[in-house]
Amino acid sequence: MDKPKKMRKKATGTMNADGKIPESGSKSVTDTGVPKNSVSAKEEKKSLARKVKYELINEEKSVNKAIEKERNEAAKKRNELKKLCEETNSVAWHQKTKREKAVEKIIEEGAITGIKLSEADARMIYREMNSMSKITDSSQSVFYFNSLEKRVGRHDMCIILMAAGIILTLAKCPMPENARAYQIKAKALVKAQTDNTYGFFTPAFAGLTVMGGLVDDLLTAIENFEDKDGTGNIETVNGLIDDVQVQVDALLVYVNGKCRANQLAALEIIAAAEMVPVKKKEKGKKKDFGIKLGAASGSVILTSLAGTFDEKRVPTTYYWQYGLMVGTELIWYDLPDTVDECTTTATGMPINVTVAFRKRTKSKKGGLSAWCTPLYISPK
């Protein structure tokens, strides 16, 4: 048998310019010289980006694990505290929420302006104030206020408007410049308080008797001046007008105290007082005069706003009084005056008896003020 012929090894490769195939160790003209297993710059960039991405993911996982661990530990502590409180029949303390803090602040601000709010009232106001904050244009505002009374009722609407500091219905009492017209208007104010037709003015305005006497004296002075017989003069008329105006200012404070205490009937109160209504913003306004029980038995602490003139503090003397009913008349007794001290303590007051308190101030620039509207309290 013939031996098989040896197969000639087939040359591979690309011919060069001379028609020859380069040897295996030599480089072809198309060879770049870069090893086939190396990574391009673009791939290196992608690899680096992937590495950074996964590092960020791992870091986020670590943070989330730490937060979850912290939450679990806090929950564990709360459960332990709850269990302890149940075992000892005690109440657990908790961190106040933003809503709870806001509700407390609303109640405090209401007290400053003389409006006593319950916790339910304050929660309702908080909800409505959040709704107000979302109003972005006038049409939304009109719709909100037009629908407010229908949604919450007239009573709650008034509470919302007062506590939110939007508007209060108060009284003003413009007086005529003509002396006789002034006297007629002042007489009508006295009559409205004396008649008290609708029962709004109880207890009565403390200066009513004095004011009535001054108004009668003013009429006499005007008639004497108009007679031109020498029995009257314009100085007397003007002096009595000034005296009556002090009482008119005090009466206005008294009527507005009634309005603040009963905004639902404010318009009726103002009409009954022969005055005119005005809308006024008063959020955050502090009470001019306040009283509260002292620590000792039979003691009452009296406070006043600091004396000012043109919105600037001035040296001021404070006069304080307490009043007790003797029969059917309220009799006033002096307490020690204080100079540049807008608080004092009344001691030795009768226990479980209603006592009235009031104050007035005097300064060189502001002069002597009228007595403020009395406040009442029963010492313990």
> Do 180 and 267 fall within a single domain?
yes
Cα 85 from Cα 298, distance rounded (Å):
40
- For the stretch 219-250, pLDDT in tens is 999 999 988 787 889 999 999 999 999 999 99
> Do 265 and 295 fall within a single domain?
no
Q: What is the pTM of this model?
A: 0.40
Is residue 38 included in any domain, yes or no?
Answer: no
Domain total of the chain: 3
- For the stretch 83-135, pLDDT in tens is 776 666 555 455 677 788 888 877 776 666 556 778 888 888 888 777 766 76
> Do 189 and 256 fall within a single domain?
yes
Is residue 343 included in any domain, yes or no?
Answer: yes
Q: Which two tokens stand for residue 282?
A: 């008063």
30: pLDDT strictly greater than 90: no
Question: Is the link from the previous residue into 315 a cis peptide, with omega within 30 of 0?
Answer: no
Is residue 46 included in any domain, yes or no?
Answer: no
Share of the chain above pLDDT 70, in %: 76
* CB of 291 closer than 8 Å to CB of 379: no
Looking at residue 341, which CATH number applies to its domain?
Answer: 2.60.40.10
**Helix locations, 89-202, DSSP H:** 98-112, 119-133, 138-152, 154-163, 179-195
What is the reported pLDDT for 23? Answer: 52
What domain range includes position 111?
A: 98-166
Amino acid found at 367: G
What is the reported pLDDT for 52? Answer: 78
> Do 144 and 187 fall within a single domain?
no
> Do 272 and 184 fall within a single domain?
yes
Pick 139 or 11 by higher pLDDT. Answer: 139
Is residue 357 included in any domain, yes or no?
Answer: yes
> Do 119 and 148 fall within a single domain?
yes
Indicate the pLDDT class of residue 364, thresholds 50, 70 and 90.
confident
> Do 276 and 181 fall within a single domain?
yes
> Do 177 and 260 fall within a single domain?
yes
Cα 297 from Cα 351, distance rounded (Å):
8
> Do 320 and 367 fall within a single domain?
yes
> Do 226 and 308 fall within a single domain?
no
Cα 332 from Cα 371, distance rounded (Å):
11
> Do 274 and 178 fall within a single domain?
yes
Residue 124: how many other CB atoms lie within 10 Å? 19
Is residue 82 included in any domain, yes or no?
Answer: no
Is residue 368 included in any domain, yes or no?
Answer: yes
Is residue 15 included in any domain, yes or no?
Answer: no
Is residue 26 included in any domain, yes or no?
Answer: no
Q: How many residues are there in the chain?
A: 380
- For the stretch 47-59, pLDDT in tens is 887 887 788 788 7
* CB of 157 closer than 8 Å to CB of 148: yes
